[in-house]
Structures are given as C-alpha cells and as structure tokens.
A and B are shown apart, each in its own frame.
Chain A
C-alpha cells in the first residue's frame, strides 16, 4: 500500500516537472517551431500512442476479452492497420496539408471550412461537446475501477480521487499538450505492458502451450455450468469466433471490431493531431513506433484478458467473468491476484498515465469545440474567450464525473459500451464526409450535410429504439411504446448502431453527391487542395 502511494506521488511529480519544463521552454512561436522540428519522432509517436490508448482500452476491452477471448484480436489488427497505418498514410498527410491550407485548428473547423459551412462546424462542435464526455467517462471508469481494486477503497472515493488529479492536471498545463510528459507516460505504458505479456506467457508455459490451455479450458467439464449462459449467446470458446450471426457474433463484430476499429478514423482528437505535425516526414517516422505501441497495448491487453481465464480456473475453478463478477473488474482482479505487488504499483501508474494523457486531449477537444466552434471567440476579448472555453471544459468535467458515477450502475461492461458509442457516432456522422473532403473535389455541400445528418440521426434512433444496450438505459422507447426495444426477438437488438448508420450515411452521401452539383468556386477547391496529390 505504502509502495503504491509512493509510486503514484513520484509519478505525479515527474509528470508535473516535465509539463512545467515543456511549458517554460516553448514560449514564443519560434521556440515552438524549432523545438517542434527537433522533437524526436519517438517522442511524437509515443505521445500519439499515449493519447489514443487509454484505460478504456486496457481495463475495459481487456476485461471484455475475458469473455469474448481472442476474437478481439481483430480489433487490434484494425487498430494498427486502420488506426495507425491507413490513418497516417492515407488520411494524415492530406489532413495535415489541407488543414494548413485552410488555416483550420479544430476538426469541426476543418470540416466547416472545407465545405464552407458554419452549420457543419457548429453541428460537429455540438456532437463533441455532448458526447465526448461519454467516452471520457469510460476512461475515468477504467482508472477508478483499477484504483478501487488495487488500493482497496470504495469506487466512488477512487473516482473522486482520480477526477481531482485529472482536473488539476488539465487546468495546470495539461491542456498545453506538452509532448514530453505524454511521451513519458507512453514509455511507462510500454514497459508495463511488456512485462505483463512476458509474465503471462511464462506463467502458462510459452506461447503455443498457453493458447492450447485456453483452447482446452472450453471443453473442460468443470466449467460447463459457468459457460452455459455464454454458449446460449453463441460462445464457442476463447480461441474461436462466436457462432456466425449469433448474439455474441454481432456484439463482437458490429460493436467492438467495427464500431471501435473503423470509428477511430473519424475521431476529432485524432484528426486534429495530424494538423499539429510539422511535415509528412514526422508522420512517416511516427508510423513504426505507433504500430508497435498499439500492438503492445491493445494486443497485450486482449491476450492477457482472455488467458486470465486459465489462471482464474487453476486458482479457484472459476472462469474470469465469474471470479470478477463482471467484465470491468477482470483485469484489476487478475493483476492483484497473479502479479507481484511491485508490479501492481507500476501498473497503477501505467493506468494513471493512460487515463490522464487521453482525458487531457479529450477535454482539450471539448474546450476548442466550445471556444472556437460553438461560440466564435475570435475578436472577443482575451478574458471573455478564456472564460467561455474554461466554462465549457468545467461543464464537461462535471458531466463526465456524473456519467462515471452513474454508468457503472446501469451497465456491466460500461467502459467498452461507452467507448464504442462515441467512436460509432463519430464514425457514422463524420467518416463519409471527412473522407470525401480529403479525396473528392466534386462533392457538394448538400451531399456532405445529408450524409452527416443521416448518419447521426440513424445512430441516435437505432440507440433509442433498437440496440438494447442503450435503449434499455435511455428509456425513450419504453416511454413511447411501453417496451424497452422495438424488436425483442432475434438478433436485431444486438446489431450495433454503426453497422446501420455508417452504411446509411455512406449511401446517402454517394447518392446525393451523384444527384447534386458542387457549387464551390474553383478557387476554393484549388486553395483547399493546394499541394495535395502531386
């Protein structure tokens, strides 16, 4: 206990010092520019990684892998291939150039300027302001659950403790986006996860042997009773995909793999990072480190979450989800039961790092959405602009803490659900128009707006009336139709909103684009695409 507290204080001290150092050294524009060009790409990539991978991915999705097993590795593959490789090579380079051409500083501003539409900018700003806290809450729940388990304190106390640290961090410099403290956090995460993967494979006798034990566990008669319920949903073991088109298959494929794996491409806090990069060379150099980093984060979390079943069974005869009484507690219980205490202390710091680096950038996105996209603070006095932005961030923090307090009481697996919800919503509303903005000179404003609105409304409607996970909590369907979801038979209630909404918004964008003519002046298009596609 004492070791853990000392570790946490030490860590917070280093992060605070690095933040102060970075802040002090980058005062003028010139300092920032030259410093930026000299920054080692490893620092840059680690800072990307630390922002993208959060406690949500490690604790929430790691726990989810305790139930769905290795099938989640498809998500890791998409995270690396789409989330890093395609995102940087295909989206990143164009976003960077076009963002600079148009002088865009936020994701909503990027879309708004490209389509010459204040409406798009404000709409995207509202979506971020209202829904980003859901994702931020997921990250907060992950960290607090872990603090609860490792320090043996009440969840609400842990939540308060963590929220207070994060709020202080964000207000005193976290928003400056200092790369060095992000990179330090990324390094800690990398080391922690490396130790974890070596530990679990050696505990279980090597790679193939460990996988074989997990495969064999499924057919062990001793757990037959425990997995009966899971099997009803299509579960076929931890090293197999759920049965095709079964309930679990839809959850794994549509919510987790598609929702998070594809939704990542239209994440506002990710897209905006591309614009802050100095040149394509920095993007090129960030790719290898980013790819390896994601592999070590989500890849290891999913492997460990799944294989923890074998260790839990050996110890208590129970599978992970039974032993931890739900998915969100699996990783925490696993670490506390099977890893030495010093490692749990290290991991506590890893998770604080993962949570803080992500939350600070999420709140940064909310702050800019309020200060720049919703209320145009340009031209207003410095004081007034700061007040509006800070007020926006403050409201977001309060809303986030409320969600982090309330959501775990209504959802098991709240972390994975709320992350998927935000990723899915962003993917459905913004991905087609974002893609078209980068690659089509002919798309019309009408087509972009139709795609965005259809994706957003389809997502919302599906959540309110069809997808049981959200509809039972939102209660809109209950209120209007007197039942928790419209279609309770069959698998429709497990089909994720992104599956329906993204398909629809792609179709709408394409059809309307074909039917309408772009009214943008050639000059505007040329200015946007200046230096692109040479």
Chain B
C-alpha cells in the first residue's frame, strides 16, 4: 500500500496522519470549552501563582 512493502509501516504512515487529524478535530470541537464559569476564581488563583512565577523569573 502507498508503495510501502511492509504493512506495519503503511499503518504507521496512516496513523501519523490520522492522529494529527484527531488533534485537529478535538481542538475544533473543544475550542471554546474549558474557559468556563470558574474564570473569576481562576483569575485570582493565577494572579497569585503568576506573582510568584514572576519573582522566580526575576531572579533568573
């Protein structure tokens, strides 16, 4: 298949493209999910985390 002699290699070739497509489809379906209502709480949580991260980064 596809000029490839070994079936397991043709399979790998197809799986590479299929898994990239899986990523593509998943991303499109989930594009707006995961932001959610918890945004406010997360903002506060992140601000705290980020502050510390900036301090650490600052030291670098």
Contact = CB atoms under 8 A, between A and B. Distances in A.
Interface residues on B, range: 35 or more
Most chain B Cβ neighbours within 10 Å, of A70, A84, A292: A70
A8 interface: no
A435 interface: no
A105 B52 contact: yes
Contacts, number: 165
Contacts of A290: 23
B56 A105 contact: yes
A377 interface: yes
Given A287-B26, A371-B60, A73 B9 contact: yes
A175 B53 CA distance: 13
A233 to B, nearest CB: 17
Given A33-B43, A288-B23, A281 B35 contact: yes
Give the interface SS of chain A, mostly helix, strand, loop or mixed.
helix
Contact of A284 (B6, B12, B34, B59): B34
B4 A215 contact: yes
Contact of B56 (A85, A93, A211, A368): A368
Given A175-B60, A287-B27, A29 B47 contact: yes
B16 to A, nearest CB: 5
A40 interface: no
Contact of B54 (A32, A84, A279, A393): A32
A337 interface: no
Interface in B1-35: 2-6, 8-9, 12-13, 15-17, 19-20, 22-28, 30-35
Given A29-B51, A280-B34, A239 B8 contact: no
A270 interface: no
Contacts of A299: 16
A70 B12 contact: yes
B20 A295 contact: yes
A236 B30 CA distance: 43
Interface in A214-266: 214-215, 218, 236-237, 239-241
A243 to B, nearest CB: 11
A18 interface: no
B16 A295 contact: yes
Contact of B3 (A76, A212, A218): A212
Contacts of B20: 80, 291-292, 294-295
B45 to A, nearest CB: 6
A372 interface: yes
Contacts of B6: 236-237, 239-241
A239 B5 contact: yes
A207 interface: yes
Interface stretch (A133-141, A142-150, A382-390): A382-390
A276 interface: yes
Interface string A350-371: 0000000000000010011001
A278 B34 contact: no
Nearest to A290: B23
Contacts of B13: 70, 73
Nearest to A28: B54
Top 5 A-B pairs, shortest CB-CB distance: A291-B23, A280-B34, A288-B27, A211-B3, A212-B3
20 contacts: A32-B50, A33-B43, A76-B16, A85-B19, A100-B45, A100-B46, A103-B48, A105-B52, A213-B3, A236-B6, A240-B9, A275-B49, A279-B42, A281-B32, A281-B33, A287-B30, A288-B26, A290-B23, A295-B17, A368-B60
Given A295-B17, A295-B20, 18 more contacts: A29-B51, A70-B13, A77-B15, A81-B19, A85-B19, A100-B46, A208-B3, A211-B2, A218-B5, A239-B4, A278-B46, A279-B39, A281-B31, A288-B26, A289-B27, A291-B19, A292-B24, A393-B60
Interface of A: 29-30, 32-33, 36, 69-71, 73-74, 76-77, 80-81, 84-85, 89, 93, 100, 103, 105, 175-177, 207-215, 218, 236-237, 239-241, 275-276, 278-292, 294-295, 299, 364, 367-368, 371-372, 377, 382, 385-386, 389-390, 393, 531
